[in-house]
């Protein structure tokens, strides 16, 4: 660990929150009922989050009282029968679920898709087992993730094709899990997948490989896939933690040149295994940072451990508690208090449900304090001390004070729990880091202080050195982003700055002690200690025994909550003395002598300039959306972000950081491919002019936003309000009323434009004209009232842009078209998509629609700026884009009507 730094105690003034132990009534409000926990939640709305009645996060420190088991969400009867005959009911369940969410399910979509069949395919007789395996990897049993929908794995959401895709996906994942040391090729599935589904197999396999769900890790067969020489652009990764290492390895396998810049003298970031020694015969590996693999079912780090031949050690359930005077806590009283504590959290869940949106601004601690004031049952001192121990355990789980945690969203990631045991890796997690860092080009002691990004690439400045690349991935901890120690040029978008500010970043510290021998026994892995001072409840409240996995007699004491902050300024000798007093108070009454430790290490993660804390949490005023905002790329695919604080599903975990690296590797590859396509187009402008026009027409068949006679396409993966969008205006029919009839203050000065348009109206032809806007300007335009005519006036007079034909858009539009094409690259236009013109969404569960609406609302309050207006005017061969099509919308410009806005996502 880095040398300890003296850190001022800014937290001593925080008043403790008083609590009293009570068992709340089951239903204090007879008119309210707790909502059931949802089976699967892909993008939980606040309404769903407010209904979780039994949060799981409090279990992070103390294991379950009973052996953990993985719970499969209920699946409709007959979905995965051994002979697959029940798959028809699976399709029916999808249809029923989809119809509840306004999802179009074509009755005979296969007839409009010649390469698909009306039948659900049969791959093997292990569909149930394969569904469980895929579920453990984060895939729902009967729907698609947002990531899959964004990638466009299928053409129409909710039909037979989706069922077949899920079966193929599950089969591929399960096949690779049989032997994670092999590289699974697509060819091995050719014979088992019917020919009419081979194109579906192609897209499924491509998605799983590119996003790191299969064929990842450090097995020799996988390392062999890394090309000897890179053939693609240069990528700079800032930070050699688990996120940075995962992304670097994946990008290297994709063929990119990779450089990793690490400020420390070592890799791993907040995962740090230190070798402690006490002579020739006594040594141990101490995990001073991330130590517990939480939930091993589907955990990718568990898969890496399997590839290395490491056997994980399950953290055993036994966790006795000892009073502040060292006496064992009565087991019956322990169970009583734990039950009451669980009921208190359940009461808080019910409260936030009743409060609705107001709970976003309320802390979990305030809610608990409210119950104490309302119910205030008298308890004895020992019960109060035990209750405070559970609060400390809760603060450990979240690396944050309960007074700072959001009542509404503190446990928003619970629905994505992977399940399985909590485990230690014998020898420490540094063994994983070492394997992942092998042959990765890492430059150590490169402290990055500036990141420049723009249309031409990135510059990362560390000290006096400048590293240039095509893209950069920033994986520094949230604490570093909060500190502002890295300067971004240009400044990050306001929505990202706000998200960084809203999310919490807490603290956990440790005291690692190497003893001459094991005096505490080897029959348990954890034990707890109570404090009689509520302000010090998190001080050495939990001990981890690593004697069975560290290679020596190692004991680690945890410091959480307010005590973790005070610990930053506590002299190490005082800390060790205090821990030894606690241990002597527990074991000497049992006749067990406690020796002096041979070596001790005290962490100072809050003072570490490369972390400035431990891991993220959802603070008051924040939500799970902020994890998504932190994950957004900026600069039109030049600067990306990864790390546990960018992973909505698995924050505050090692595997969450690891998975975020895979996610961003896929995103970076996407943008690089789009730019390569753009360059190819620009090199042959005359040759590709017709194909670009055709491509633009294809993309506008399924616009991302449509209102009146206006339709918009943009890159869905870039939510920056300043990012460029292409707006198309469609003129369709002769106007019945002249615009000259408008009131004097509404007359339009762009007479030449309207004369051109009037000419086309008279010919009864359809006219498409275009312009480039920022996404923020598009949203502002959509809000203009008074119909299409007023929108056009706003566009031309207020924004000062000029509508042009396709050829007038220029190379800037070609770049945007290339990005969108790459994003939708594996999609093929389906005639069923035309049904969207009626306003019906194709989404499986409406979650993406909510997501886009939410993002739109956020952007409406952001500071959007327009891209440079194209200098070409409408008379620069506007007629080049005049065309007649039977698929044109029926909206007529100047009708004066406000058409319904339709958000369209795939």
Q: Tens digits of per-residue pLDDT, 170-216? A: 999 999 999 999 999 999 999 999 999 999 999 999 999 999 999 99
pLDDT (tens digit per residue) in 595-637: 999 999 999 999 999 999 999 999 999 999 999 999 999 998 9
Q: Which of 257-271, 773-787, 815-829 has the highest average model confidence (pLDDT)?
A: 257-271
Cα 233 from Cα 676, distance rounded (Å): 10
Residue 565's H or E segment, with its range, is helix 561-567
Is 378 contained in some domain? Answer: yes
Q: Is residue 118 over pLDDT 80?
A: no
Instruction: Tell me which of 171, 187, 215 is where a domain ends.
Output: 215
118: its two tokens: 């009306």
Is 162 contained in some domain? Answer: yes
Q: Could you tell me if 378 and 358 lie in one domain?
A: yes
pLDDT (tens digit per residue) in 57-66: 544 565 544 3
374 pLDDT band (50/70/90 cuts)?
low
Strand runs labelled E in 270-429: 273-277, 283-287, 293-294, 313-314, 321-322, 422-424
Please give the model's pTM, rounded to 2 decimal places: 0.73
Radius of gyration of the chain, Cα coordinates, nearest whole angstrom? 30
Q: How far is CA 18 from the centre of its chain?
A: 35
Q: Could you tell me if 708 and 812 lie in one domain?
A: yes
- Output the average pLDDT for the chain: 78
Task: Say what the pLDDT of residue 69 is.
Answer: 38
- 287-324 residues labelled b (16+ CB within 10 A) or e (exposed): bbbbbbbbbbbbbbbbbbbbbbebebbbbbbebebbbb
Is 17 contained in some domain? Answer: no
Cα 861 from Cα 18, distance rounded (Å): 39
Q: Could you tell me if 185 and 228 lie in one domain?
A: no
In CATH, what number is assigned to the domain containing residue 638?
A: 3.50.50.60
101 pLDDT band (50/70/90 cuts)?
very low
Task: Say what the pLDDT of residue 291 is.
Answer: 95
Is 900 contained in some domain? Answer: no
Q: What is the dihedral of CA 247, 249, 255, 258, to 10 degrees?
A: 70
Domain count, the chain: 4
Task: Say what the pLDDT of residue 406 is.
Answer: 96
- % pLDDT > 70, the chain: 72
Q: Could you tell me if 537 and 598 lie in one domain?
A: yes
515: its two tokens: 């003893």
Task: Say what the pLDDT of residue 281 is.
Answer: 79
Among 179-183, 433-437, 600-604, 845-849, which stretch is predicted with the lowest mean pLDDT?
Answer: 845-849
Of 906, 882, 883, nearest to 829 by C-alpha is 906
How far apart are the two ends of the chain, measured CA to CA in Å?
Answer: 47
Q: How far is CA 152 from the centre of its chain?
A: 18
- Is the separation of the CB atoms in 353 and 50 below 8 Å? yes
Report the pLDDT averaged over residues 779-808. 86
Report the DSSP beta bridge partners of residue 489.
452
Total Cβ atoms within 10 A of residue 68 = 18
Total Cβ atoms within 10 A of residue 33 = 10
Cα 651 from Cα 628, distance rounded (Å): 11
Task: Say what the pLDDT of residue 113 is.
Answer: 42
Among 28-37, 163-172, 776-785, which stretch is predicted with the lowest mean pLDDT?
Answer: 28-37
pLDDT (tens digit per residue) in 487-519: 999 999 999 999 999 999 999 999 999 999 999
Q: How far is CA 700 from the centre of its chain?
A: 29
- Is the separation of the CB atoms in 847 and 719 below 8 Å? no
CA-based diameter of the chain, in Å?
103
Give Cβ neighbours of residue 107 (< 8 Å, ≥ 6 apart): none
Q: Is residue 644 over pLDDT 80?
A: yes
Q: Between residues 877 and 127, which one has the greater pLDDT? A: 127
Task: Say what the pLDDT of residue 209 is.
Answer: 97
Task: Say what the pLDDT of residue 674 is.
Answer: 87
Q: Could you tell me if 713 and 795 lie in one domain?
A: yes
Report the pLDDT averaged over residues 673-698. 72
Cα 423 from Cα 683, distance rounded (Å): 55
Task: Say what the pLDDT of residue 681 is.
Answer: 67
Q: Answer positive or negative: Cα dihedral of 600, 604, 608, 614.
A: positive
- Is the separation of the CB atoms in 228 and 645 below 8 Å? no
Q: Could you tell me if 190 and 250 lie in one domain?
A: no
Total Cβ atoms within 10 A of residue 592 = 13
Q: Is residue 294 over pLDDT 50?
A: yes
Q: Could you tell me if 578 and 616 lie in one domain?
A: no
Q: Is residue 861 over pLDDT 80?
A: no
- Is the separation of the CB atoms in 712 and 725 below 8 Å? yes
- Is the separation of the CB atoms in 842 and 103 below 8 Å? yes
Q: Is residue 73 over pLDDT 50?
A: no
72 pLDDT band (50/70/90 cuts)?
very low
- Is the separation of the CB atoms in 541 and 392 below 8 Å? yes
Cα 514 from Cα 554, distance rounded (Å): 5
Is 571 contained in some domain? Answer: yes
Q: Between residues 745 and 189, which one has the greater pLDDT? A: 189
Is 628 contained in some domain? Answer: yes
Instruction: Tell me which of 780, 807, 823 is where a domain ends.
Output: 823
Task: Say what the pLDDT of residue 62 is.
Answer: 58
Q: Could you tell me if 391 and 516 lie in one domain?
A: yes
pLDDT (tens digit per residue) in 566-575: 999 999 999 9
429 pLDDT band (50/70/90 cuts)?
very high
Give Cβ neighbours of residue 423 (< 8 Å, ≥ 6 apart): 292, 293, 296, 302, 312, 313, 314, 315
- Is the separation of the CB atoms in 276 and 546 below 8 Å? no
Report the pLDDT averaged over residues 404-432. 93
Q: Could you tell me if 497 and 632 lie in one domain?
A: yes
Q: In what order do the strands lie in the sheet with 471-474?
A: 442-443, 256-261, 232-238, 471-474, 639-641
Instruction: Tell me which of 781, 805, 823 is where a domain ends.
Output: 823
- Is the separation of the CB atoms in 502 and 619 below 8 Å? yes
- Is the separation of the CB atoms in 366 and 351 below 8 Å? no
Residue 554: DSSP 8-state: E
Is 906 contained in some domain? Answer: no
Report the pLDDT averaged over residues 679-704. 72
Which residues span the domain enclosing 773? 690-732+767-823
Q: Could you tell me if 523 and 589 lie in one domain?
A: yes
For tokens 């990897």, name the residue: 137
Q: In what order do the strands lie in the sheet with 724-731?
A: 767-774, 724-731, 710-714, 705-707, 902-903
Total Cβ atoms within 10 A of residue 658 = 28
Is 260 contained in some domain? Answer: yes
In CATH, what number is assigned to the domain containing residue 368?
A: 3.90.660.10
Of 901, 902, 905, 904, nearest to 783 by C-alpha is 901
Cα→Cα distances 356→19, 113, 352, 413, 783, Å: 24, 44, 6, 19, 28
Task: Say what the pLDDT of residue 445 is.
Answer: 98
Q: Between residues 793 and 744, which one has the greater pLDDT? A: 793
Cα→Cα distances 684→676, 678, 697, 805, 808, Å: 13, 10, 19, 20, 17
Q: Answer positive or negative: Cα dihedral of 706, 710, 714, 719.
A: negative
Q: Could you tell me if 432 and 488 lie in one domain?
A: yes
Report the pLDDT averaged over residues 711-726. 85
Q: Could you tell me if 267 and 383 lie in one domain?
A: no
Task: Say what the pLDDT of residue 233 is.
Answer: 96
Peptide bond into 490 cis (omega under 30): yes
Cα 105 from Cα 96, distance rounded (Å): 9
- Is the separation of the CB atoms in 232 and 672 below 8 Å? yes
Q: Is 217 left (phi over 0), alpha (psi -120 to 50) or beta?
A: left
In CATH, what number is assigned to the domain containing residue 161?
A: 1.10.10.10
């Amino acid at each position: 660990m880095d040398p300890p730094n003296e850190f001022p105690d800014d937290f001593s003034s925080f008043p403790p929150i008083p609590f009293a132990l009570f068992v709340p009534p089951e239903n204090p409000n007879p008119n309210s009922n707790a909502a059931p926990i949802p089976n699967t939640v892909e993008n939980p709305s606040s309404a769903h989050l407010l209904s979780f009645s039994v949060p799981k996060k409090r279990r992070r420190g103390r294991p379950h009282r009973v052996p953990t088991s993985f719970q499969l969400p209920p699946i409709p009867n007959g979905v995965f029968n051994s002979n697959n005959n029940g798959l028809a009911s699976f399709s029916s369940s999808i249809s029923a679920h989809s119809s509840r969410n306004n999802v179009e399910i074509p009755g005979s979509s296969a007839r409009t898709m010649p390469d698909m069949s009306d039948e659900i395919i049969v791959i093997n007789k292990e569909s149930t087992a394969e569904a469980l395996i895929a579920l453990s990897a984060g895939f729902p049993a009967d729907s698609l993730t947002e990531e899959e929908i964004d990638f466009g794995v299928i053409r129409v959401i909710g039909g037979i094709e989706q069922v077949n895709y899920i079966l193929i996906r599950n089969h591929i994942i399960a096949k690779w899990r049989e032997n994670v040391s092999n590289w699974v090729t697509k060819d091995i599935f050719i014979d088992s997948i019917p020919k009419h589904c081979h194109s579906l197999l192609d897209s499924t396999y491509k998605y799983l490989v590119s996003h790191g769900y299969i064929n990842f890790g450090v097995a020799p067969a996988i390392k062999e896939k890394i090309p000897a020489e890179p053939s693609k652009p240069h990528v700079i990764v800032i930070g050699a933690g688990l996120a940075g290492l995962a992304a670097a390895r994946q990008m290297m396998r994709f063929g990119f040149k990779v450089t990793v810049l690490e400020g420390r003298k070592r890799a791993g970031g907040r995962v740090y295994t230190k070798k402690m020694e006490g002579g020739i015969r006594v040594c141990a590996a101490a995990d001073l940072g991330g130590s517990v693999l939480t939930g091993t079912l589907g955990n990718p780090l568990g898969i890496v451990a399997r590839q290395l031949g490491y056997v994980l050690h399950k953290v055993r359930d036994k966790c006795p508690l000892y009073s502040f005077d060292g006496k064992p806590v009565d087991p019956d009283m322990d169970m009583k208090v734990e039950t009451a504590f669980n009921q208190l959290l359940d009461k808080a869940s019910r409260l936030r449900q009743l409060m609705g949106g107001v709970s976003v601004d309320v802390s979990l601690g305030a809610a608990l304090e409210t119950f104490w004031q309302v119910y205030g049952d008298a308890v004895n001192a020992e019960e109060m001390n035990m209750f405070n121990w559970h609060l400390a355990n809760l603060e450990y789980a979240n690396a944050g004070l309960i007074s700072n945690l959001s009542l509404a969203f503190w446990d928003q990631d619970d629905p994505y729990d992977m399940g399985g045991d909590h485990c230690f890796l014998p020898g420490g997690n540094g063994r994983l880091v070492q394997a992942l860092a092998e042959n990765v080009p890492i430059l150590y002691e490169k402290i990055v202080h500036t990141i420049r990004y723009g249309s031409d690439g990135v510059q990362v400045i560390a000290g006096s050195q400048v590293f240039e690349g095509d893209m950069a991935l920033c994986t520094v901890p949230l604490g570093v982003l909060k500190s502002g120690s890295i300067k971004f040029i240009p400044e990050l978008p306001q929505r990202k700055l706000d998200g960084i500010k809203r999310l919490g970043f807490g603290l956990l510290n440790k005291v690692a002690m190497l003893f001459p021998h094991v005096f505490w026994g080897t029959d348990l892995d954890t034990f707890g200690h109570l404090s009689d001072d509520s302000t010090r409840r998190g001080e050495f409240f939990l001990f981890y025994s690593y004697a069975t996995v560290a290679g020596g007699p190692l004991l680690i004491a945890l410091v959480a909550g307010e005590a973790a902050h005070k610990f930053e300024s506590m002299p190490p000798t005082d800390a060790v003395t205090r821990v030894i007093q606690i241990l002597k108070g527990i074991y000497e009454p049992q006749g067990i002598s406690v020796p002096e430790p041979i070596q001790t290490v005290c962490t100072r993660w809050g003072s570490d300039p490369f972390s400035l804390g431990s891991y993220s949490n959802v603070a008051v005023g924040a939500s799970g959306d902020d994890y998504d905002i932190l994950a957004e790329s900026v600069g039109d695919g030049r600067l990306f972000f990864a790390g546990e604080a960018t992973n909505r599903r698995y924050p505050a975990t090692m595997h969450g950081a690891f998975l975020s690296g895979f996610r961003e590797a896929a995103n970076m590859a996407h943008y690089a491919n789009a730019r390569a396509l753009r360059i190819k187009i620009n090199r042959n402008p005359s040759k590709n002019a017709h194909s670009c026009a055709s491509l633009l027409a294809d993309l506008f068949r399924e616009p991302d936003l449509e209102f009146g006679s206006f339709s918009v396409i943009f890159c869905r993966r870039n939510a920056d309000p300043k990012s460029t969008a292409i707006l198309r205006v469609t003129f369709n029919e002769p106007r019945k009323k002249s615009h000259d009839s408008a009131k004097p203050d509404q007359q339009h000065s762009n007479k030449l434009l309207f004369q051109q348009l009037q000419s086309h109206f008279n010919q009864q032809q359809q006219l498409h004209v275009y312009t480039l806007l920022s996404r923020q300007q598009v949203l502002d335009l959509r809000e203009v009232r008074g119909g299409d005519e007023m929108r056009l006036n706003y566009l031309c007079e207020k924004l000062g842009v000029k509508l042009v034909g396709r050829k007038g858009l220029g190379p800037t539009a070609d770049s945007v078209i290339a990005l969108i094409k790459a994003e939708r690259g594996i999609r093929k236009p389906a005639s069923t998509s035309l049904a969207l013109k009626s306003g019906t969404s194709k989404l499986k569960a409406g979650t993406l629609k909510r997501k886009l609406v939410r993002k739109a609302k956020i952007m409406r309050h952001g500071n959007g700026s327009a891209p440079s207006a194209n200098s070409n005017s409408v008379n620069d061969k506007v007629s080049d884009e005049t065309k007649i099509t039977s698929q044109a919308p029926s909206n007529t410009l100047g009708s004066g009507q406000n058409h319904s806005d339709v958000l369209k996502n795939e």
